[in-house]
Structure 1
Amino acid sequence: MTPVRIEQVTNIADALAIRATVFIEGQGVPENEEVDGRDPDCLHWLVTDAQGPVATLRVLPKSEHMAKVQRVAVLERARGTGLGAMLMQHVMAELADMGFTHATLGAQLSALGFYERLGFRAHGPTYDDAGIEHRDMDMSL
C-alpha cells in the first residue's frame, strides 16, 4: 500500500466531496441528511494517498469525555486495503490524547464486523437512519 497521510483538517471541502461520493451518490442518502449543519461543531480528519484525498470521518464531541464518530467514508478505490481501520485507529488514539474516554457511533449493519474488530461493541435495537439500517456501538478509549 502506498504511503498515506492522516490529518485533522479545518478546511473540509475534500471531506465533503468524499462524503458526497460515498453517501449521496453511492448509497442514495438525501443531501439534506448528509449535509446536516453539524459540520462546524465537529472535528474532521482526512486521509490522502498518492492519488489524492481518499477517506474521511468526523467526530462530534458529545460531552467532555464522549466523542461520537460520524460520516466514516472511504472511496471505493481504497476499500478493503486496511485504510479505514488505519484511519479509525489513528483517530481513536488522537481522541484519547485529547482526553476523551469513550467513543460511540451508529454503524451501518454491513459495517458491524469492521467496527467490532476495532474494539467497538454493539448495543440496542436496529434502527433506520437515512434509509439504511444501523446499530449503536460504543468503545472505551
Structure 2
Amino acid sequence: MPEDYEVRVAADPDDLKAYYAVRHEVFVVEQQVPADLEYDAHDADAVHVLATGPHGALGAGRLLLGEDGTGILGRLAVTGASRGLGIGVALVRAIEDEARRHGLSAVELHAQTHAVGFYERLGYTSFGAEYEEAGIPHLSMRRVL
C-alpha cells in the first residue's frame, strides 16, 4: 500500500470533484453503468469518503445514514491503477468509523458478486438471494459494528 495516501471524508468542492471522478471512471467508464443509475438522490445526504495520494484520487465510497441504526455502504470504487494496494480496505474501515461516529450499529451493502470474498474477509456476511443492479449480479451483505 502506498505510504503517502490519505483516507478522509470529502470536505470541500475539490474533494467532491475527485470523489465523483473516481466513481465515474470505475462505474460509468469501466463497468458501463449508465450515469443516470450511478448518480442518485442519495448523494445529496451521503457521507462521501475519499482516498487520495500525491498524484490524485485513488478511491471513493459513501455511507447512507439509516434511521434504524444501520448504515448503507455503497459506491465503493478504487481506480484500476490503485487496486491490490489496500485502498479498498482502508475505505471500508473509514466508512465503518463514520457509521460508528453517527451512532450506527451495523453496516449493510450490495456487493457485486465478484467482490463478495473481499467483503467476507472484512467481516461481512451475505444474506438473501442474488439479484441484479445495473445489469451486474449482486448479493446483500451485513456487518454488525
TM-score range, shorter chain: over 0.9
Counterparts of 2:102 and 2:42, CA distance in 1: 20
Query: Under a length normalisation based on structure 2, what TM-score does the superposition of the two structures give?
Result: 0.92
1:49 matched to which residue of 2? 53
Ranges in structure 1 where 5+ consecutive residues have no aligned partner: none
Counterparts of 2:41 and 2:98, CA distance in 1: 24
Alignment of 1:1-80 (within 5 A): 1-10=2-11, 11=13, 12-80=16-84
| 1:109 alignment partner, one of 94, 107, 113 | 113
Percent identical: 33
Name the Cα RMSD after superposition: 1.1
Runs of 4+ in 1 over 2 A off after TM superposition: none
SS at match of 2:92: helix
SS at match of 2:44: helix
Q: Say if 1:60 and 1:69, in contact at 8 Å, map to a contact too.
A: yes
SS at match of 1:20: helix
Q: Say if 1:2 and 1:50, in contact at 8 Å, map to a contact too.
A: no
Summarize the Cα distance change of 1:64–1:126 in structure 2 as closer, same or farther, 3 Å threshold.
closer
Ranges in structure 2 where 5+ consecutive residues have no aligned partner: none
